[in-house]
């Protein structure tokens, strides 16, 4: 039997990139997922394990982040064209395909105006309600599920204890992103359930405006604001995963990265859960 290589391509998928444009207020964010695929004269890689012409997919990833440093990313087609041209110029490459998905974010409102640093992924999350009914007691807990929020500044994390397993640097200015799930208990079955809109507004505005020293710190402020927004509720419970955005180290490529180019990560994530109660 003889075999031969047919159609083939390879590359890197799901390169997650968030860029913050901070040069002036208000900040702007761009959220991209990039895939790179190359075709060309790659037969020796397959048939002989000869990697001489094999651009590492790790290098593709680095290239995407490095190119993102100097690009405003206001047109994904132009960014894809630049990347494709770069990859096509590599030895052995006959065709380069760069595919980008751009996730839209909306600016959060605060005090009736768009907030300069805080954003919400489009899709407002779902409203929830759970009624538990026993002969002697009825409980109404309402809430919001999966509201994805991000702020580009006014978030620090410092002063935490350092033991022999601690490597995290202190930071005075980081991205804070979460997918908020909230629930609140109504004082009675005759409460004004229309309060949910005001509670939602209070949660989002506080997320935007808070000078955060930790997710826990912001959670508590959000809880307080929700309680202040409506007398109808007696407590609020918030679950805030910390969706880490890691600053990319661009120094190996001779570039700085002044808090602009980030990797959005899914795993692992911090998870903060607490109830704030009216007293």
Catalytic positions are: 12, 57, 244
Mask for 128-157, x = binds a second copy (CB under 8 A): xxxxxxxx--x-x-x--x-----------x
Stretch that binds a second copy, among 19-27, 111-119, 172-180, 221-229 (CB under 8 A): 221-229
Q: Tell me which of 122, 173, 197, 258 binds a second copy, using CB under 8 A.
A: 122
Residue 9 interacts with a second copy (CB under 8 A): yes or no? yes
H or E segment to which residue 87 belongs: helix 76-88
Spatial distance between the Cα atoms of 262 and 247, rounded to a whole number of angstroms: 5
Spatial distance between the Cα atoms of 160 and 65, rounded to a whole number of angstroms: 30
At its nearest, how many Å lie between a second copy and the CB of residue 27?
A: 20
| Of 31, 27, 25, the residue nearest 100 (C-alpha) | 31
Q: Using CB under 8 A, which residues numbered 99 to 118 contact a second copy?
A: 99-104
Asked whether the beta carbons of 21 and 90 are under 8 A apart, the reply is: no
Stretch that binds a second copy, among 11-19, 20-28, 110-118, 172-180 (CB under 8 A): 11-19
Residue 71 interacts with a second copy (CB under 8 A): yes or no? no
Residue 198 interacts with a second copy (CB under 8 A): yes or no? no
Spatial distance between the Cα atoms of 264 and 152, rounded to a whole number of angstroms: 13
Asked whether the beta carbons of 145 and 181 are under 8 A apart, the reply is: yes
Residue 72 interacts with a second copy (CB under 8 A): yes or no? no
25 or 162: whose CB is closer to a second copy?
162
Spatial distance between the Cα atoms of 264 and 242, rounded to a whole number of angstroms: 11
What does the buried/exposed string (b/e) look like for 160-181 if buried means 16 or more CB atoms within 10 Å of the residue's CB? eeeeeeeeeeeeeebbbbbbbb
25 or 193: whose CB is closer to a second copy?
193
Phi, psi of 259 (to 5 degrees): 65, 40
Residue 97 interacts with a second copy (CB under 8 A): yes or no? yes
At its nearest, how many Å lie between a second copy and the CB of residue 174?
A: 12
Residue 247 interacts with a second copy (CB under 8 A): yes or no? no
Residue 29 interacts with a second copy (CB under 8 A): yes or no? no
Residue 262 interacts with a second copy (CB under 8 A): yes or no? no
Spatial distance between the Cα atoms of 217 and 140, rounded to a whole number of angstroms: 27
9 or 72: whose CB is closer to a second copy?
9
Spatial distance between the Cα atoms of 106 and 1, rounded to a whole number of angstroms: 59
Q: Tell me which of 24, 111, 165, 172 binds a second copy, using CB under 8 A.
A: 165
Residue 57 interacts with a second copy (CB under 8 A): yes or no? yes
């Amino acid at each position: 039997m003889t075999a031969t290589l047919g159609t083939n391509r390879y590359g890197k998928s799901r390169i997650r990139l968030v860029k913050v444009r901070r040069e002036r207020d208000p900040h702007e964010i761009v959220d991209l997922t990039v895939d790179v695929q190359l075709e060309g004269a790659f037969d020796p890689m397959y048939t002989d394990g000869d990697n001489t012409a094999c651009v590492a997919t790790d290098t593709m990833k680095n290239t995407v982040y490095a190119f993102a440093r100097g690009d405003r990313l206001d047109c994904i087609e132009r960014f894809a064209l630049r990347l494709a041209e770069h990859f096509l110029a590599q030895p052995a490459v006959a065709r380069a395909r760069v595919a980008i998905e751009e996730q839209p974010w909306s600016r959060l409102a605060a005090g009736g105006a768009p907030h300069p640093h805080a954003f919400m992924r489009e899709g407002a999350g779902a409203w929830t309600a759970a009624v538990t009914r026993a002969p002697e007691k009825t409980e109404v807990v309402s809430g919001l599920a999966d509201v994805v929020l991000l702020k580009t500044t006014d978030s620090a994390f410092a002063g935490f204890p350092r033991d022999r397993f601690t490597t995290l640097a202190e930071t005075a200015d980081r991205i804070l992103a979460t997918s908020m799930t909230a629930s609140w208990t109504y004082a009675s079955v005759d409460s004004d359930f229309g309060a949910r809109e005001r509670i939602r507004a209070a949660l989002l505005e506080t997320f935007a405006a808070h000078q955060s020293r930790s997710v826990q710190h912001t959670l508590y402020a959000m809880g307080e604001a929700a309680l202040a927004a409506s007398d109808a509720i007696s407590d609020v419970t918030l679950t805030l995963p910390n969706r880490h955005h890691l600053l990319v180290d661009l120094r190996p490529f001779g570039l700085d990265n002044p808090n602009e180019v980030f990797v959005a990560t899914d795993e692992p994530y911090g998870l903060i859960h607490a109830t704030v109660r009216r007293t």
